[in-house]
Amino acid sequence: MGAYETQGFKLDNSGKRVVVDPVTRIEGHMRVEVNLDSNNVIRNAVSTGTMWRGLEVILKGRDPRDAWAFTERICGVCTGTHALTSVRAVEDALNIQIPENANSIRNIMQLTLQAHDHLVHFYHLHALDWVDVVSALKADPKKTSELAQSISSWPLSSPGYFRDVQNRLKKFVESGQLGPFMNGYWGNPAYKLPPEANLMAVTHYLEALDFQKEIVKIHTIYGGKNPHPNWLVGGVPCAINVHDTGAVGAINMERLNLVSYIIDRTIDFIDNVYIPDLLAIAGFYKDWTHGGGLSSKSVMSYGDIPDKANDYSASNLMLPRGAIINGDLTKVHEVDLRDPSQIQEFVDHSWFKYREAGKGLHPWDGETEAHYELGKNAKGTSTNIEQIDEGGKYSWIKAPRWKGHAMEVGPLSRYIIGYVQKKPEFKEPVDMVLSKLGLPLTALFSTLGRTAARGLEASWAAHKMRYFQDKLMANLKAGDLATANIEKWDPSTWPKETKGVGFTEAPRGALGHWVRIKDGRIDNYQCVVPTTWNGSPRDSKGQIGAFEASLMNTPVALADQPLEILRTLHSFDPCLACSTHVMAPDGQEMTRVRVR
């Protein structure tokens, strides 16, 4: 490949190659390779989705009313968002209007996911990129307490409390059985927190682990379980009965109170633990401005959280919608998921092939045929890859493009678009964070910006849960108890042939499902998911995806410890099972591995 320039990045794969496989603390499986120059700065990045399951073909010929359950299993981390996207796609195809209560409950469930997922991501998947657990052993519990009390009114903050946690940690480390903390990059110079901040963060790592299981109980109440709650084409499956005999068998006053209580606690935890921690940690990494990648160039959001039921126009969506390209912050472009010329997927560097090579296909006309082969300059063998050849096919992820542009999606994209559109709910928190940290707007386009936007969005989501729970209660008070519209439940009421599209803003970004229904069965089903956008490999023009772009020009402190690489990749919250679910139509040309 040699050296070339794309999207403002100079790629050069001549330096020392470093391979990270598996990338851990993500959902699913992924590999990344980078080239370092003589100063240990990343000059080329190659990200490979290393798993693939094929759900779309499995969906062919099935009952569209069942599709939510299949697609929900695309991902157990962002559980529910695929199911919601799926029921919206089927409702769009069949022109089904859902009741207001169903819209409120669905929004509460989607926002519950946002709040939960962002919290777990920050503490359990991302924090250890910034927080040195071993350093926490050196902290002074009294000073830790002072630090905690200076940034938050959260009551669990006494010196004794931090001392207890530190003792537990100390004895754990001394046991020599380090469990998930084994072989971490402890002591790496890229860690910048003082011991007290480390102890506070580790303490909250444990508290957040305890608390996250409470948030999801909202899914359990409305959807029966979590992960993987239940959904319904036409509404929600949980009936409401607040007045009459049998109320104990439905959503009743006690259940509604429980939801309300959990919402209050979620707001409390996010606003008094997550956000203060985020700001405190960010304060020590202000100088680490890397990882911006495509965020200052091309970002996109489909929008989500319809205020009123059944209206998916931008003005009714509480999360912003639109696209920014080429770094032009003065213009937010309209995004149309139905327009065949806007969203297209390419497979030149993906382990698939199209009937017509080099072409981009809109998801309604999507095709996917598996074609696993390594580029001719790859090192190793087909079942023992030592080095990927990015000049050939190198990922199980397709390359989606919006009007030909590689796009970044996710909380940062949503906040950038909301900021540019001057929506106070998004602009004001961003300005607050920047002014607290004393940073310019450009600081937003970075790894830290991505991590900060996710935290702000968790808080936004928690407060919006309150809004929709109140809205639900008001509607019940007005006498409307409906939760499902069954007019078109029976397939005999459906048109012979139809197609639809559904979308959500998943925790990780813009998510779309495109469905074609024929004779009451799924004829074609295609998903383009957030990590397909962010984890995209190169396209035919050599344009790189968001993961690859974000690693460019980042200095690495120790070449054999990929801490900075993990830090930036984790800031996207990669979800590989999501991105690589696509599949060949007939499962052809498959070689078997011998099993003994």
Partner 1 sequence: MVETFYEVMRRQGITRRSFLKYCSLTAASLGLGPAFVPKIAHAMETKPRTPVLWLHGLECTCCSESFIRSGHPLAKDAVLSMISLDYDDTIMTAAGHQAEAILEEVMTRYKGNYILAVEGNPPLNQEGMSCIIGGKPFIEQLKHVAKDCKAIISWGSCASWGCVQAAKPNPTQATPVHKVIHDKPIIKVPGCPPIAEVMTGVITYMLTFDRLPELDRQGRPKMFYGQRIHDKCYRRPHFDAGQFAEAWDDEGSRKGYCLYKMGCKGPTTYNACSTVRWNGGVSFPIQSGHGCIGCSEDGFWDKGSFYDRVTDIQQFGVESNADRVGGAALGVVGAAVAAHAAVSAIKQSRSKQSDVNDKQG
Residues 386-415 that bind partner 1 (CB under 8 A): 386, 396
User: Could you say which of 51, 256, 314, 473 contacts partner 1 (CB under 8 A)?
Assistant: 51
3-class SS of residue 528 = strand
Residues in the chain: 596
Among 47, 86, 112, 226, binds partner 1 (CB under 8 A): 226
Least distance CB 22 / partner 1 (angstroms): 5
Q: Taking the CB of residue 477, how many other CB atoms lie within 10 A of it?
A: 9
- Closest approach, Cβ 227 to partner 1, in A, equals 4
Q: Given the complex with partner 1, which of 313 and 591 has the nearer CB atom?
A: 591
- Among 36, 84, 111, 128, the residue binding partner 1 under the rule CB under 8 A is 128
Q: Does 482 bind partner 1 (CB under 8 A)?
A: yes
| Binding residue (CB under 8 A) for partner 1 from 253, 329, 474, 486 | 486
In whole angstroms, give the CA distance from residue 230 to residue 79: 10
Q: Does residue 81 interact with partner 1 by CB under 8 A?
A: no
Quote the tokens at residue 412: 């940062």
Residue 14 lies near partner 1 (rule: CB under 8 A):
no
Instruction: Identify the residue among 14, 382, 442, 493 touching partner 1 (CB under 8 A).
Output: 382
User: Which residue, among 242, 212, 234, 236, has the nearest Cα to 223 in the 3D structure?
Assistant: 236
Q: Which residues in 257-316 contact partner 1 (CB under 8 A)?
A: 258
Shortest spacing between CB 239 and partner 1, in angstroms: 4
Q: Is 479 an interacting residue with respect to partner 1 (CB under 8 A)? A: no
When binding is defined by CB under 8 A, the residue of 155, 244, 357, 440 that contacts partner 1 is 244
| 396's tokens | 């199980």
HEC secondary structure over 85-106 = HHHHHHHHHHCCCCCHHHHHHH
Judged by DSSP in three states, 413 sits in helix
Rounded to the nearest whole angstrom, what is the least distance from the CB of residue 146 to partner 1 in the complex?
Answer: 22
DSSP letters for 128-174: GGT--TGGGGG--HHHHHHHHHHH---S---HHHHHHHHHHHHHHHH
Q: Distance (Å, rounded) from C-alpha 398 to C-alpha 201?
A: 37
Residue whose CB is less far from partner 1, 166 or 536:
166
Determine if the peptide bond prior to 340 is cis (ω within 30°).
no
| Contact with partner 1 (CB under 8 A) among 206, 253, 474, 559 | 206
Tell me which of 17, 142, 228, 359 binds partner 1, using CB under 8 A: 228
Is 488 a binder of partner 1 (CB under 8 A)?
A: no
The residue with tokens 């495109």 is 514
Considering only residues 495 through 524, tell me which ones interact with partner 1, judged by CB under 8 A: none
Residues 535-564 that bind partner 1 (CB under 8 A): 561-562
Integer Cα distance of 162 and 146 in angstroms:
11
Residue 51: both structure tokens together: 């798993």
Distance between CA atoms of 531 and 574, rounded to whole angstroms? 6
**Only segment of 24-32, 38-46, 308-316, 495-503 that touches partner 1 (CB under 8 A):** 24-32
330 in contact with partner 1 (CB under 8 A): no
Kindly tell me the burial class for residue 186, based on how many C-beta atoms sit within 10 Å of its own C-beta (0-12, 13-18, 19 or more).
middle
> Considering only residues 4, 16, 24, 328, which one is a binding residue for partner 1 as defined by CB under 8 A?
24
* Smallest distance from partner 1 to CB 423, Å: 32
Q: Which amino acid is at 335?
A: V
For partner 1, the closer of residues 186 and 437 by Cβ is 186
The window from 18-26, 328-336, 431-439, 448-456 that contacts partner 1 (CB under 8 A) reads 18-26
Binding mask 340-379 for partner 1 (x = CB under 8 A): -----------x------------------x-x-------
Instruction: Figure out which of the listed residues 66, 264, 307, 425 binds partner 1, where binding follows CB under 8 A.
Output: 66
Please name every residue paired with 9 in a beta bridge, in sequence order, or none if there are none: 6
* Residue 442 binding partner 1, by CB under 8 A: no
**Nearer Cβ to partner 1, position 181 or 314?**
181
Place of tokens 């050599």: 542
- Range 97-126, binding partner 1 (CB under 8 A): 120, 124-125
Residue pair 52/583 in contact (Cβ under 8 Å)? The answer is yes
- Count the Cβ atoms, other than its own, within 10 Å of residue 192: 15
Closest CA to 260 of 218, 211, 306, 318: 218
Long-range contacts of residues 305-310, Cβ cutoff 8 Å, at least 24 apart: 305/107, 305/110, 305/111, 305/464, 305/505, 306/103, 306/107, 308/100, 308/103, 309/97, 309/98, 309/99, 309/100, 309/102, 309/103, 310/97, 310/98, 310/103
Contact with partner 1 (CB under 8 A): which of 7, 11, 25, 303? 25
Q: Which of 95, 150, 220, 341 binds partner 1 (CB under 8 A)?
A: 220
Contact between 21 and partner 1 by CB under 8 A: the answer reads: yes
560 near 101, Cβ under 8 Å?
no
Question: Which of 159, 227, 375, 542 touches partner 1 (CB under 8 A)?
Answer: 227
Contacting residue, 39, 155, 210, 440, with partner 1 by CB under 8 A: 210
Residues numbered 141 to 200 that lie near partner 1 (CB under 8 A) are 164, 167-168, 171-172, 174-185
Omega prior to 227 cis, within 30 of 0: yes
For partner 1, how many residues bind (rule: CB under 8 A)? 121
The answer to whether 42 contacts partner 1 (rule: CB under 8 A) is: no
To partner 1, the closest distance from the beta carbon of 569 in angstroms equals 9
